[in-house]
Structure 1
Amino acid sequence: MNRNSLLITAALILVLGIGIYAMSRTAKTPAPHSPAKLQIVASFYPMAFFAQQIAGDKADVINITPAGAEPHEYEPSTQDIVKMEQANLIILNGNVEPWGDSIQANLQNNSVHIITAGEGLGSADPHVWLDPILAKQEVQKISDAITAIDPSDSSFYAANTVALLQKFDQLDTAYKNGLAICSSRDIVTSHAAFGYLAERYGLNQLAIAGLSPDEEPATKALIDTAKFVQGHNVKYIFFESLVSPKLSQTIANETGAQTLELNPLEGLTQTEIGQGQDYFSVMYNNLYNLQLALSCTK
């Protein structure tokens, strides 16, 4: 769907959302026994995970990008639009969601708060959640937004935020120590998601595709990547779980390298969810695979 079609469709859907919202406000319902939970809509997995860790049982957090879907490509459904119209808070990362600007411009419910957690934290590359230090800043922005909406539970949110930030400090320490002494510092990735992480820990990222995994590289770029792999004795080509491993496998076949997963955490698959994986377990698994690929001293 092109941008204009999306805007037209969204406008029609928003009218439906307003009607449902108004009906829900005017319908006679029994008085609740306890205050209603905050309704938080997150654009994709990391934003939803951070919000849920902060808000706990005080909020219903909805990740509108389905499990296994790629957020660079996902477009909100009719139901997603209605949920956003009825939310207290919408959390975007910025520069990942192709629909983000349209939602902010066309949302009809003026009481909905919208934040862009990644705004001001980097360049055109939106993948700030993969750098533990930049992710801490996103967490603090999300915490501040939730607290502003529900100041009566500020101490609860503050305690959860402190605990979450400590986990990021531990993750940062693990990456610093785990990647300190390695035989190589060159990583070849499926798409350019790991620039901030690479810069933070002294690695050199060469991406097969661009900032979005759906960007098809030119033939020359594939040839140059293969030459880099051979010239720098790269042993592993990284692939991702949410996109086809075809390009990574092609480079590996051409160069005699092996493939290994490096997860950009743009979402979890149903299998990963069923295994109980989350942001931190995936980040630690990424560290393990980086150490293997780069022959690091653990």
Structure 2
Amino acid sequence: MNVRRRLISTTALAAASTLGIVTLSACGGTSDAAGKSSDGKLDVVASFYPVQYLAEQIGGGHVAVNTLTKPGVEPHDLELKPKQIGELGEADVILYLKGIQPAVDEAIAQAGVKNTVDAATLTELEAHGTGTGGHEGETAEEHAEHAGEGHAEEEAGHDHGSEAGADPHIWLDPVKYAEVAKGVGTALEKADPAHAADYKQNTDALVKKLGDLNTDFANGLKNTTTKTFITTHSAFGYLAERYGLDQEGISGMDPESEPSPARIKELQDKAKKEKVTTVFFETLASDKTAKTLASDTGLKTDVLDPLEGITDTSKGDDYIEVMRSNLAALQKALGAK
């Protein structure tokens, strides 16, 4: 994956060790022998927003969630402070997605927390390039059939989360995100058996919401003038594949990588051929290249949010609301009928 690596320095790790055991201030209280904080809640550390949302929705009032990536911080670029590294070891449950944040991956590996859940192991990962999507001219149903065939062929010997070049942006596909939600629910039940029934109930409710969201996307994008959309970085491969669309990323998986002149020319030609109307940019990364491309090709611009974090500029207060805003933006750009 073309993500700029932010490795934790030896100095930072040494400082974290010096700190010793640090209480999660955002979670309140220290952990007791039963693995819960003194206020009776399960201390959950989430690496960034997509897993934070799952923890909050499924955990409800039984968990206290602390996220490593604060609002407005681009997750790929996160550098952990020594205090944060030290706090990881005090968590009852750690939820993260391997491959998005190298600094977090390394720190979590050294934390040694028993209940550590990598969301990438809870669903099937795939490799996506800058151009990703369904087969040209096929219906959504035919595309789903193709996707199913591909998954069956890859099933044997597939190692979740470790395959080189695997796309980690699984949360942008409501179906895959629901699979991850089920795994997170199971992990919380295991970590806190006394409230297992509540976690199960909350998981079922969230999975239903995601199922409804999937239905709305499938119906809303079934008949469109074009299937191609251009976006800042290639975060929407799973979404494109799910609904038979063609994602064309200006850059690769890293939102701050610079596209080559050849790639810009390719996108300009693709836009004319596929009747593309809109170049999408996002809230946590620079919009300069997207707006320049749009200006040079006479296209409109709009926001397609990869939901790596929620800020005051997000078009919604949570995952479901922002995803519905994404659907409306795609329908408008693609000429949904």
Do both share a fold (TM > 0.5)? Answer: yes
Find the aligned partners of 1:48 and 1:271 in 2 and give their Cα distance. 19
Find the aligned partners of 1:33 and 1:244 in 2 and give their Cα distance. 40
Structure 2 counterpart of 1:115: 117
Structure 2 counterpart of 1:130: 172
Deviation of 1:34 after TM superposition, in Å, equals 7.3
Deviation of 1:141 after TM superposition, in Å, equals 1.3
Structure 2 counterpart of 1:223: 265
Q: Tell me whether 1:290 sits opposite 2:330 in the alignment.
A: yes
Change (3 A) 1:3 1:147: same
**Is the 2:13–2:85 Cα contact (8 Å) retained in structure 1?**
no
Deviation of 1:228 after TM superposition, in Å, equals 1.2
Which of 307, 311, 335 is matched with 1:269 structurally? 311
Structure with the higher helix share, 1 or 2: 1
Find the aligned partners of 1:34 and 1:83 in 2 and give their Cα distance. 16
Deviation readout 1:191-222 (Å, 9 max, x if unpaired): 00000000000001111010120222112111
Change (3 A) 1:177 1:15: same
Deviation readout 1:10-60 (Å, 9 max, x if unpaired): 421331342446xx979xxxxx99752111111110100111000011111
**Is the 1:75–1:98 Cα contact (8 Å) retained in structure 2?**
no
**5+ unaligned residues in a row in structure 2: which ranges?**
24-28, 127-165
Change (3 A) 1:89 1:285: same
Which of 12, 15, 18 is matched with 1:13 structurally? 15
**Is the 1:7–1:102 Cα contact (8 Å) retained in structure 2?**
no
**Is the 1:17–1:85 Cα contact (8 Å) retained in structure 2?**
no
Partner of 1:193: helix, strand, or coil?
A: coil
Which of 100, 104, 113 is matched with 1:96 structurally? 100
Structure 2 counterpart of 1:45: 49
Find the aligned partners of 1:168 and 1:276 in 2 and give their Cα distance. 16
Structure 2 counterpart of 1:29: none
Letter in 2 for 1:293: A
Change (3 A) 1:25 1:169: closer
Structure 2 counterpart of 1:169: 211
Deviation of 1:284 after TM superposition, in Å, equals 0.3
Which of 35, 55, 58 is matched with 1:54 structurally? 58
Change (3 A) 1:208 1:250: same
Deviation of 1:111 after TM superposition, in Å, equals 4.3
Deviation of 1:186 after TM superposition, in Å, equals 0.4
Deviation of 1:152 after TM superposition, in Å, equals 0.8
How many residues are aligned here? 285
Deviation of 1:230 after TM superposition, in Å, equals 2.0
Deviation of 1:3 after TM superposition, in Å, equals 5.6
Using the size of structure 1 for normalisation, the TM-score is 0.89
Structure 1 counterpart of 2:256: 214
Which of 193, 196, 205 is matched with 1:154 structurally? 196
Report sequence identity in percent: 35
Change (3 A) 1:231 1:25: closer
Using the size of structure 2 for normalisation, the TM-score is 0.79
**Is the 1:85–1:112 Cα contact (8 Å) retained in structure 2?**
no
Letter in 2 for 1:217: P
Letter in 2 for 1:106: Q
Deviation readout 1:175-194 (Å, 9 max, x if unpaired): 01100111110011110000
Letter in 1 for 2:299: A
Q: How does 1:231-250 map to 2 (within 5 A)?
A: 231-250=273-292
Letter in 2 for 1:39: D
**5+ unaligned residues in a row in structure 1: which ranges?**
27-31
Which of 300, 303, 308 is matched with 1:258 structurally? 300
Q: Tell me whether 1:180 sits opposite 2:182 in the alignment.
A: no
